[in-house]
Amino acid sequence: MSIFFTVAILHFFAVVSPGPDFVLISRQCLRYGRKVALWTSFGIAIGILFHVALSLTGLTILIQNQPTIFWFLKLLASLYIGYLGIISLISKGSNYLESKIPNPDKRELKSITTGFLTNVLNPKALIFFITVFTLVIDPDMTRILKISLGIYMSVATYIWFAFLSILLTNQNATKRFKKLIPWVEKVTGLLLLLIALQILLQQDLLTT
């Protein structure tokens, strides 16, 4: 039980701290609205399960011992997050301000994919799970309990970002600050670019 609380506390501080996932959800809320943000949150939660699967199969140890692989991961993360930032900066207007979004089914799938890729490619998320599964969790813990912890972190992640999505798409607030939304969207785009640059230039976290 003590391990569960330790993991829960570590995960809480990790998930609420500003990072690519947080900025992405803010961007989705401002640009596309609540539904897209919720689907993006679901994609992030799936990304958590992917990290858990890597940890349980030992692939995180392989990445840990292969700096080249980790460098390519940082490069891909920087390019993808930077791309999202550029799209936000050059966009002429927010689709959220329109009455309807075309092709809602495709938008849902794209939202899940965006959330998934942003989380999976985030090197800090990889480091977090390496830390949790190699240093915090008892190696003798059964696989079922480890999987349960992974599911908990995935569900908790979705709940947090879903709550954030609902909070940021409050109708009264968006109507009041409607004129500011395009500017705030560009700020989030700039933040995404800064995060992409930080990931690319950051020293190898595996050795720190």
pLDDT of residue 90 exceeding 60, the answer is yes
Instruction: Give the C-alpha separation, 140 to 127, whole Å.
Output: 21
Each domain of the chain, given as residue ranges in start order, spans 2-10+19-207
pLDDT given at position 113: 94
Identify whether the C-beta of residue 44 lies closer than 8 Å to the C-beta of residue 116: yes
For the segment 113-126, the average pLDDT, to the nearest whole number, is 89
Predicted TM-score (pTM) of the model is 0.80
118 token code pair: 């942003």
What are 89's two structure tokens? Answer: 């900066």
What mean pLDDT is predicted for residues 133-149? 80
Per-residue confidence (pLDDT) for residue 207, from 0 to 100: 42
Q: Does residue 114 register a pLDDT over 50?
A: yes
Angle subtended by helix axes 143-168 and 2-16, to nearest 10: 30
Asked whether the predicted pLDDT for residue 205 surpasses 80, the reply is no
Quickly list H helices, the chain: 2-16, 20-32, 34-57, 59-64, 67-90, 104-120, 123-131, 143-168, 171-176, 181-201
Assign 110 a pLDDT band (cuts: 50, 70, 90).
Answer: very high
Please classify residue 163 by burial: count the beta carbons closer than 10 Å to its beta carbon, then call 0-12 exposed, 13-18 middle and 19+ buried.
exposed
Q: Which pLDDT tens digit goes with each residue over 36-68? A: 999 999 999 999 999 998 888 877 666 666 777
Label residue 24 by pLDDT band (50, 70, 90).
very high
pLDDT above 90 coverage of the chain, percent: 23
